[in-house]
Amino acid sequence: MNILVLCTGNSCRSQMAHGYLNALAKGTHQIYSAGIETHGLNQRAVKVMMEDGVDISAHTSNHVNEYADVNFDIILTVCDHARENCPYIPGQAKRFHYNFPDPAKAQGSEEEVMQQFRSTRDLIKTYCEKLMAEEA
């Protein structure tokens, strides 16, 4: 099963979901993440995922067009902007959407910003666990 997680910049939310889905799949599914733009891997996302035992430090920020030849079974958009601006992806994939808050836009002290990253991470983890239990 091929699963694509799509976000605006493929730097935070889609990377976190990619990490959780990959951990939950335990090698039984191929997980991809991409953006409609590429913003680079956010190091705060890497840090909060490591706090929960998931290493995404080797992930790269990829553009959705890089996966034009992949037939996806599931496409998950994790922000409204990606859902509204995603190029057409042919195929029979089941499509899911959840607009997670963007921690990259958090403001305040470093600890307040990191708390936003943790909060979004926890929402994504719960969503991914439910998705894998029900769909994959």
Catalytic residue among 86, 104, 128, 131: 86
List 3, 4, 7, 17, catalytic entry: 7
Annotated active-site residue 79? The verdict is yes
Query: In which residue are the tokens 């493929």 written?
Result: 10
The number of beta carbons lying within 10 Å of the beta carbon of residue 79 is 23
Q: Check if 7 is active-site.
A: yes
Residue type for position 47:
K
Question: Shortest CA distance to 73 belongs to which of 23, 122, 31?
Answer: 31
Give me the helices (H) in 37-109, please: 43-51, 80-85
Catalytic: which of 21, 76, 79, 131?
A: 79
Cα separation, 26 vs 29, in Å, equals 8
Q: CB–CB of 9/81 below 8 Å?
A: no
CA dihedral sign of residues 78, 44, 16, 8:
positive
Catalytic residue numbers read: 7, 79, 86
